[in-house]
Structure 1
């Protein structure tokens, strides 16, 4: 065969190579952008929480006005300016992956939604909402990937998955958890043709975070261990407690998202801003009862418990649970991950009064995994993310066992996974048939 005869084959091969590297470049560029967005959201979140607590320094009772008014203003923005930005953002990404490419999918993961998410989450923390920034980073990450790869139609679902997984990885500085979350929650399986590209996006996002803020553990390193023997008796108790509270939380949130039956449901649907303000008042009241510890992400409180310090308020876990519940059903944008970890740590601290021979740090890790699993029903993601966030390897087996128990208990109370149940609400509202193709 002459060179001239081989020329078409070589040209085709070269074209395929360029396309393959072009796709890889898209995923890497998107990952870099997601990493930068995660750092921006973290900085804004810290700024907002500091300023809110400065206001509380003037008067603790300012929250009784500021929080309800803030909730009302944020819900107004989500309804009139940034539709589809409410909630954590993870259900929107799941729904977008189920929809065919088009305006409806784009409306869930557009750059406008991403901007609205960042603005609304910052405002929420500025008025004391019990929300996290990590879940919203998932939607922002998917939106950035969607924008970067608009021309690669056949890889849109993979891009959304990669952006969302990279968002979790960059927000928590937990690359393994990003991969597991993509498999366990977002896709419920893995696409072989995009697995390497998703990994590339996660690496790019992680490197961006590493280069800008350095290598860090989200909750700091802990060497907490659960000694063999009597200490292990607390494990099933903690797991069942986390599963019960987590399943109850999810069931309530899903019920409100689907719409309450009867006159009350119609009233809430007609007056969402008023309802949001009432939820904001609930958050303010829990804040006053918890000595101002139930506001915000709960990061500082959870970190302190993980490192062995008892919470300042004896009912911190319960108040954080209620504050997060009010924030979630109020309809404002905000994630569940960080507040859930704080609730789990708080519940574990209450158990510590009965099991004082068990190290508080170890009990806190069990509580965090148990409650987070109870809420999101992703046991593998839950124990991986807590292990990575604390750089703790000695607790892997107890955390695995706690996650399995909590997952079973949660599913007995709430049979639907919260994110997929909420995604179904978006799909129903979209009025389009989900695509049916193998993962």
Structure 2
């Protein structure tokens, strides 16, 4: 990082060099903690507001059912107001539309801007209105994006370099996920696996301290209990493993279907150029209100529906109806272009799939009766993996959210099968698909360069297994002309690269680039250092 280089400049004493790096690392950990505190505070406030709104909406539904003649109109009427206002507010910060996670990834790739003072208020208010109106959206997307904005706010207030700012943005994003689900380890893994794809000490240490700080606030205000409280889970015998292979295939197929359906919904929404965003959101909110009058379980994120499924209180014959309604409402809600995530809705869909297969298994094999909640927990993680393709994040997230890890073997098996099936079907991971859409729209809109040409910055990339750069010599790589490869970190060794230096998987490359061309250079290095198996499958 630039500051580290500045600190060590002018000295060749190994002890002083080590001390400078150690002091910088400690300072960065403190800054990560500060970013976590701010991100956690914003995230917990958002959770509390959503909880109050959901209670208020449920009370309105109870009152509406007491007026059979016209009570079904009450929620659609309120939805028009809340959904329309959410869509209107989003026009002041278009980057807050949808989950926000693809926007954070684009910012970390230096492809898009992040304006923290604009994102936090718009995402907070519009997200609360949209989810409160009954749109099938989750809280995690807003908390991740607002957490990233909080990380930038900390960096700006401390006047840090661009490289440090990006690290703190990633730390804040992980803290936002930790605050959303009381899952600090999942927040760390999410940063490492999805956002940065980089296990450097700065990324790991900063994400860890930020997530711990955010979770401390979460537990202080909301308590130490997991998000979903599951009791009396029955042990799963090894004879059930074939059933979990079937569950993995089902979640893989349905996960790929979700990704395709969401892509289709967004493409359809793009064609409705004459329909303003606020009107699209209002119309979807009306539909959600009508559906919610008869099926209130599918409104909002779906937290209480998950708890009902995990308590084995949802009948087998109702599950297909709930799944179809939740699936379609989630696609339409996200396509409306208002703030809201998809983590929680897809976890709801995963529990319904698992409960359905678990209950059928109980009818076919009487010894498995009562095990549907275990199937639902495993299915939550598998469906997440099939859609997001972040297996470590999915597994750790579900373990932390439920507080149970005794089903580790079927959990791992089902997630692996779901991942393989989803990859074989040729669909892109959901956030990769959304990121590509955002970048293409940005290019078509003619976005300006994000930085000045006369300034330089340092970027870090990791050589993945199976990538074109793995096993290749530096002189044989077609590196972008606008960059300078200055070091290769291999474990604890730092190598000054020469033309004959062979790059290996896991190498961390430090590259100096002009700030104005950082996005383009990162895109070129992405083609060289990341495994492109998924792209080959998709093109075939």
**Structure 1 unmatched runs, 5+:** 1-6
Aligned match of 1:133 in 123, 128, 139? 139
Q: Deviations over 1:166-185 (max 9, x none)?
A: 11122211122112111221
Q: Deviations over 1:153-177 (max 9, x none)?
A: 2212211211111111222111221
Aligned residues: 423
SS in 2 for 1:177: helix
Distance in 2 of aligned mates of 1:14 and 1:395: 45
Instruction: Tell me the TM-score normalised to structure 2 length.
Output: 0.72
Superposed counterparts of 1:228-247, under 5 Å? 228-247=237-256
More off after superposition, 118-127 vs 305-314? 305-314
More off after superposition, 320-329 vs 46-55? 320-329
Distance in 1 of aligned mates of 2:12 and 2:422: 59
Q: Deviations over 1:204-255 (max 9, x none)?
A: 1122222232311110244524522543332122222222222212222233
Match of 1:34 in 2: 39
Aligned match of 2:432 in 414, 420, 433? 420
The reply on whether 1:87 has 2:98 as its aligned counterpart is yes
Deviation at 1:66, TM superposition (A): 2.8
More off after superposition, 328-337 vs 138-147? 328-337
Aligned match of 2:208 in 159, 177, 199? 199
Match of 1:51 in 2: 56
Match of 2:336 in 1: 330
Higher helix share: 1
Deviation at 1:319, TM superposition (A): 1.7
Decide whether the 8 Å contact of 2:142 with 2:339 is kept in 1: yes
Larger radius of gyration: 2
More off after superposition, 214-223 vs 38-47? 214-223
Match of 1:74 in 2: 86
Match of 1:118 in 2: 124
Distance in 2 of aligned mates of 1:91 and 1:269: 25
Match of 1:4 in 2: none
Higher strand share: 2
Match of 2:264 in 1: 255
Match of 1:162 in 2: 171
Q: Deviations over 1:366-385 (max 9, x none)?
A: 22122222222222211211
Higher relative contact order (CA 8 A, sep 6+): 1
Instruction: Tell me the TM-score normalised to structure 1 length.
Output: 0.87
The reply on whether 1:306 has 2:318 as its aligned counterpart is no
The reply on whether 1:376 has 2:418 as its aligned counterpart is no
Deviation at 1:411, TM superposition (A): 2.8
SS in 1 for 2:137: coil
Decide whether the 8 Å contact of 2:259 with 2:427 is kept in 1: no
Aligned match of 2:282 in 244, 254, 277? 277
Structure-2 change in CA distance of 1:349 and 1:16 (3 Å) = closer
